[in-house]
Structure 1
Amino acid sequence: MTIRVIKATLLSVLLLGSSAKLQAKDVESVSPGDWQISLAAGYGALENPRAKVKNISTWVLPSWYYYGEDFYVENFTLGYSLYESNNFIVDLQTRFNEDGFFFEFDGLNKLLLSDILGYTPVKLPLNPKAVKFEDIERNLSYLGGINATWVARYLDVSLGYYHDITGLHQGNEIQLRVKHSQRFQWGALGFEIGAIRKSDNLIGYYYDLTSEEQGPLRTNFEPKPTTNLHVRSVINVPLMEQVNFVGILEYTWLGQGITDSVLIDKDSYASGFVGISYAF
C-alpha cells in the first residue's frame, strides 16, 4: 500500500469509519459473508485544530467492510459480536483513536500535497529555541473495548468504552452516539449526534508539551478529562449499478480540556466529503 493510499484510507476512518451504518447499507439487511470494497473520487477535507498546521484534504476515499457470523470489519474497526437480538447488540471492538490523526496526517499532508496546493510553510518562530508546533509528533494509538447498541424503531443508541491497547498513553474513551437513518426512493439519509469523553491520560499524551518541547515556553496546562460533541449527516444516492453519489458532513466541538492546550487554536472543526463511489 502506498503512502497516498494510506493517507486517503486514514481520512476515510474519520469520515466514514463510524458512519458505515448510516449509509445505504444501514437501511438494507446485511447477511453473514457479505463484503464490499468501494472507492470514492471527489473532494474531502478535515480541519486540523492544531496551531500553525495546515488542514487535511484528499481526492480519493476508499472504504470496505466484511461481515461474518460473529466477526466483522468496517474500515479499520474490528468487531466481534457477543450478543445480538432484534433490539440489542453487544460487541467487542477495536478502532483508531482520532486524536492521533491530527499528528500523523500532518507529515503525510506535507509530503504529498505541498506541491499540488502550492503550499510554502512560513518559518516561525524566529527564536531558534522556541517550540515549533508544526514539528511536534505524536503516535497514533489503537483502542479496544466493548460497545452496546439499542436498536429502536427510529433511533439507534450506542454506548462504548475503549481503552488504549497500544501502550502509548493508557487512556480511554467513553463514546455515546445516537443515529437515525431513513431510506427514500431516491436514496438514503443518515444523521448522528454524539459525545466522546476522553480521559486525562489521553489528553496529556496528545495535547500537553514535554519538557523538551516547551523550551523557554512555560504553560500552566493541566490535562483533565474532557468531552467532545459532534453532529454528522450522510447522504447516499444510487446513480447506477454499483455507483453512488456520497456526501458526508461532520462538525465537532472540542472540550475545554483540549482547547486549553497551546497546541490548539480552534475550539471546533469540520470535516466532509462529496464525490462518486464505485463498489467492487
Structure 2
Amino acid sequence: MKLWWYAILMLGLQLHLTAAAEENATETIPVDEFRLALALGYGRLDNPRVHAKPIETFLLPSWSYYSKRFYLENFTLGYSLHESDNLLFDLQTKLNEDGFFFEFDGLNKLFLSDIIGFSPYKAQVIRPNSNSEPILNEIKRHISYLGGVSVTWVTPYTDINLGMFHDISGVHDGNELQFRLRKSLLYSWGALGFELGAIRKSESLVRYYYQLRPEESGPLRLSYSPSASINYHARLLVNLPLWQDINLVAVTEYTWLDSGITDSPMIDKDGYLSGFIGLSYRF
C-alpha cells in the first residue's frame, strides 16, 4: 500500500469523532457547498492489540459536501432515499474500523515513529515448552469498506439510528448491524452531544481480523473460536464557538469489546478509548 494512502487512513481514524463537533450546532448546513475544516489539538486512539501503543495525532482535517440527495462526510458517502421531519432513510458506504488497528501498525514501521510516539515492539505469547511464539506485531489485515442502509427516526427525546452494512470491498464478506441513540442539547454558549450505541459484528468479520492463521501461530494451537460479537460504546461531544469560523471542540468515546473479540490471543484489553480536543477552523 502506498505511503500517501497510509497517511489518509491515519486521518480517517479520528475523523468520525470530530465531524459532529466541527459544525456550529445552531447553523443550517448549506447545499451544494464543499466545506473543509482543520482542527489543531491532541487526538488519541488506544489500540487493543497485544502490547500496542496508542495512536496519536495533532492535526485533523474534516470535509463535507451536501447536495439535495447526495452527501459526503469525510469517508462516508450517502444518498438520501427519503427525508421527512421525523424519518431519514439513506444508502451509505463507510470504512470499517477494525482494520485501523492493523494498518497503522505498518505505518508506524515506515516513518511515523517519532511523530505519533509509536515504537516497534515484539509481542509474544508465552507458552510452556514451546520453542516458537507467534510474533503478533507482524500480523497484517486490510481495512474493509462497508455498504448498506441507514434509517434514523427523529423524536423530541432522542434520535434513533439503525444501520445494516455488508463488506463491499471483498475483504472478509462480513457484516455489521449498528444501533445508536443520539441526543443534542443547544445552549447560548454552544452545544453538547451524547451517543450510546451497539454494533454487532458477524462471525466472518471477527474471524478475519482476530483469529490467528496457521502461518501466524506457528506450532502453537491456541484455543480461540471466533463468534459474532456485539461491541458497545458511549460518546460525548462538546462544541464551543469562540470566534467566527473558530470553535473549541472536544470529543471522547469509549468502546467495550465483546468476549468474542477479547478472547482472541491478539487482544489484551476489554475496551479502548478514543478522543480529540482542540481548536477547529472552518474554511
TM-score for the superposition, normalised by structure 1: 0.92
Structure 1 unmatched runs, 5+: none
Could you report, residue by residue, the CA deviation over 1:60-113 in whole angstroms, capped at 9, with x for unpaired residues?
111111110100001100000011110000000000011011111222234343
Structure 1 residues 122, 72: CA separation in 2 closer, same or farther (over 3 Å shift)?
A: closer
Match in the other structure for 1:99: 98
Q: What secondary structure, in the 3-state scheme, does the structure 2 residue paired with 1:115 have?
A: helix
Contact 2:6 2:104 in 1 (8 A): no
Say whether residues 1:208 and 2:207 are aligned partners.
no
Which of 14, 39, 43 is matched with 1:12 structurally? 14
Match in the other structure for 2:43: 44
Q: What secondary structure, in the 3-state scheme, does the structure 2 residue paired with 1:176 have?
A: strand
Match in the other structure for 1:248: 251
Contact 1:196 1:228 in 2 (8 A): yes
Q: What secondary structure, in the 3-state scheme, does the structure 1 residue paired with 2:108 have?
A: helix
**Quick one: distance in 2 between partners of 1:34 and 1:181?**
24
Which of 173, 178, 182 is matched with 1:170 structurally? 173
Structure 1 residue 121: Cα displacement: 3.4
Which of 237, 241, 254 is matched with 2:240 structurally? 237
Give the alignment of 1:62-211 within 5 angstroms: 62-116=61-115, 120-123=119-122, 125=124, 129-211=132-214
RMSD, aligned α-carbons: 2.1
**Quick one: distance in 2 between partners of 1:155 and 1:23?**
20
Q: What secondary structure, in the 3-state scheme, does the structure 2 residue paired with 1:62 have?
A: strand
Structure 1 residue 219: Cα displacement: 1.5
Structure 1 residue 12: Cα displacement: 2.6
Contact 1:27 1:181 in 2 (8 A): no
Structure 1 residue 145: Cα displacement: 0.2
Contact 2:54 2:118 in 1 (8 A): no
Match in the other structure for 2:31: 32
Match in the other structure for 1:276: 279
Q: Partner letter of residue 277 of structure 1?
A: S
Q: What secondary structure, in the 3-state scheme, does the structure 2 residue paired with 1:223 have?
A: coil
Could you report, residue by residue, the CA deviation over 1:200-243 in whole angstroms, capped at 9, with x for unpaired residues?
00000000011111102211211111100000011111111111
Structure 1 residue 15: Cα displacement: 2.2
Structure 1 residues 77, 90: CA separation in 2 closer, same or farther (over 3 Å shift)?
A: same
Which of 266, 269, 273 is matched with 1:263 structurally? 266
Structure 1 residue 187: Cα displacement: 1.1
TM-score for the superposition, normalised by structure 2: 0.91
Identity of aligned residues (%): 52
Q: Partner letter of residue 163 of structure 1?
A: H
Q: What secondary structure, in the 3-state scheme, does the structure 2 residue paired with 1:102 have?
A: helix
Q: Partner letter of residue 9 of structure 1?
A: L
**Quick one: distance in 1 between partners of 2:117 and 2:256?**
30
